[in-house]
């Protein structure tokens, strides 16, 4: 349940613009509204950079072995593409889970950082690309100003960029904003890891040769492994495996590929190994998992 007046107003705004359960796009670029009337099953997906702000209910996310729970008192920030598992914990028809998701734009953040000053000191090593921060009155005000624009569509073109900019400013100035600054600004190790993640997203089906990969990033293999794990909670090879399995799942669901074809498409040489690792990540072998996905409405974006 919402515990304060700003959260209650935000919940009312979201509920008015979400007539049914699901993820709803809006007229404001990169802003989505989410409503769920029941606690959900764990969803394993690649979460792109975004800030997720809950107005009502709560959610749990897993990154490797780490667990974060957030509600109206804390918001979630994902600063790089991360394979996570998310599950709505608190939701009911009378008090649905209500949340906004604003996708982060790297260029917009970089421009704002030029005005705010340098990122975290270079001596401070890269930190996790998934974190929680306390919801403040200033952050609530910024979010409400943005969401209220949905009631006046004629104002969105002129005012939404200003409202988004204020929200990004509050995010960067928050207690944990330095974590986002590491990724969005400067040219330190955190930025190198962000580039590494971008390369893996584009080339996940190719063999990963760590020595060559590290050399391209101007890092030693040991430094790459250490800093990559600091940001993502996994090694580059583990991250690549997650990308391969999630893309194979998408191909089987969206393009009706069989498991062997999907496995080969994403870089697996052994269908048996693919099935084993798929079952470990998603909880069921490919065929059974696909049946369950079709029964429950398919793949959705996390928030």
Domain ranges of the chain: 5-184, 187-303
Whole-prediction pTM: 0.89
Q: Taking a C-beta distance cutoff of 8 angstroms, is the pair 40, 89 a contact?
A: no
Instruction: Examine the pLDDT at 144 and tell me if it is beyond 80.
Output: yes
Closest CA to 121 of 193, 190, 172, 217: 190
Average confidence (pLDDT) over 169-183: 88
Q: Are 130 and 183 in contact (CB under 8 A)?
A: no
**SS3 call for 97:** strand
Share of the chain above pLDDT 90, in %: 74
Q: Give every CB contact of residue 180 below 8 A, 6+ residues apart in sequence.
A: 77, 79, 109, 171, 172
pLDDT attached to residue 118: 61
Query: For position 6, what pLDDT does the model report?
Result: 78
Does 2 have pLDDT greater than 70? no
Q: What is the CATH code for 5-184?
A: 2.60.120.10
Domain 187-303 has CATH 1.10.10.60: yes
Of 61, 85, 46, 49, nearest to 241 by C-alpha is 46
Question: What pLDDT band is residue 93 in, cutting at 50, 70 and 90?
Answer: very high
DSSP assignment of 158-197, as one string?
Answer: HHHHHHHHHHHHHHHHSTTHHHHHHHHSSSSHHHHHHHHH
Note the pLDDT of residue 303. Answer: 63
Asked whether residue 121 carries a pLDDT value surpassing 80, the answer given is no
* Residue 299 to residue 244: CA distance in whole angstroms: 16
């Amino acid at each position: 349940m919402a515990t304060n007046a700003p959260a209650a107003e935000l919940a009312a705004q979201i509920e008015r613009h979400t007539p049914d359960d699901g993820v709803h796009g809006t007229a404001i670029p990169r802003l989505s509204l989410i409503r769920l009337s029941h606690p959900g099953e764990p969803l394993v997906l690649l979460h792109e950079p975004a800030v997720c702000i809950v107005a009502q209910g709560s959610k749990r996310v897993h990154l490797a072995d780490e667990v974060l729970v957030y509600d109206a008192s804390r918001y979630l920030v994902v600063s790089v593409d991360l394979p996570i598992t998310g599950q709505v914990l608190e939701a009911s028809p009378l008090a649905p889970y209500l949340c906004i998701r604003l996708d982060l734009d790297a260029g917009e953040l970089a421009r704002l950082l030029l005005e705010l000053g340098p990122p975290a000191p270079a001596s401070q090593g890269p930190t996790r690309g998934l974190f929680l921060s306390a919801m403040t009155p200033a952050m609530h005000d910024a979010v409400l100003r943005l969401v209220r624009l949905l009631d006046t569509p004629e104002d969105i073109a002129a005012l939404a960029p200003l409202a988004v900019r204020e929200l990004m400013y509050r995010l960067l100035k928050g207690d944990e904003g330095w974590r986002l600054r590491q990724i969005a600004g400067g040219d330190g190790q955190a930025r190198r890891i962000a580039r590494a993640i971008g390369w893996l997203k584009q080339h996940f089906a190719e063999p990963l040769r760590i020595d060559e990969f590290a050399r391209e990033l101007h890092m030693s293999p040991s430094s790459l492994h250490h800093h990559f794990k600091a940001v993502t909670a996994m090694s580059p090879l583990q991250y690549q495996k997650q990308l391969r399995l999630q893309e194979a799942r998408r191909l089987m669901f969206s393009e009706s590929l069989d498991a062997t074809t999907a496995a080969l498409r994403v870089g697996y040489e052994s269908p048996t190994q693919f099935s084993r690792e798929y079952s470990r990540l998603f909880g069921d072998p490919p065929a059974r998992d696909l049946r369950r996905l079709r029964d429950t409405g398919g793949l959705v974006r996390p928030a």
